[in-house]
Copies of this chain bind each other. A is one copy, B any other.
Amino acid sequence: MDKQVLFQKFVAFTTSVHEVTDELTKDVKSDTITPVQYSILEYLAVSQPATLSQISDCLPMSMPNTSRELRKLGEKNLCEKFDVAEDRRKQYIRLSKEGQAMMNEAFQRIEKRFLQRIQGTSEEDLEQIELALDVLSSRVFHSR
């Protein structure tokens, strides 16, 4: 296997993934929040509850800036903090009901666009796609 060729395919592929996700998520962001704030909500939608440190590590964003943006999201009633019983320094952060609703709506719009994108794909091809997602997730795009 020529790994140089594989790398070129990899680069082209990741570029396409970025383009397509940009297209799918275009305009789903409520105009009351900034892009960075959306990315926090998106992270929470998948990984809640999360501590501030986790969010800061994963996005990635410095602790002070993460703290600031979470405060703003809190002021907009989109997420909430909860004390952690075992360690009173920590705080779990969750989407509020409102935040959850906003993200549900966003994901629904993205899903609709996604389904449009794969409409007309045969059952066989869909299974190939699912397999391919699994292969790449486990072999290439795993976090370490």
Chain A residues near B (Cβ < 8 Å): 1, 3-4, 6-7, 9-23, 46, 58, 60, 107, 110-111, 114-115, 117-118, 121, 123, 125-137, 139-144
Q: In the bound complex, what is the Cα–Cα distance between A67 and B120 (angstroms)?
A: 40
* A46-B130 in contact (CB<8A): no
Contacts of A136 on B, CB cut-off 8 Å?
A: 13, 129, 132-133, 136
* A115-B14 in contact (CB<8A): no
Please name the residue on chain B nearest to A112 by beta carbon. Answer: B7
* A130-B6 in contact (CB<8A): yes
Could you list 9 A-B pairs, sorted by A, with CB under 8 Å?
Answer: A3-B126, A6-B118, A6-B133, A7-B114, A9-B133, A13-B133, A13-B141, A19-B143, A129-B135
* A115-B13 in contact (CB<8A): no
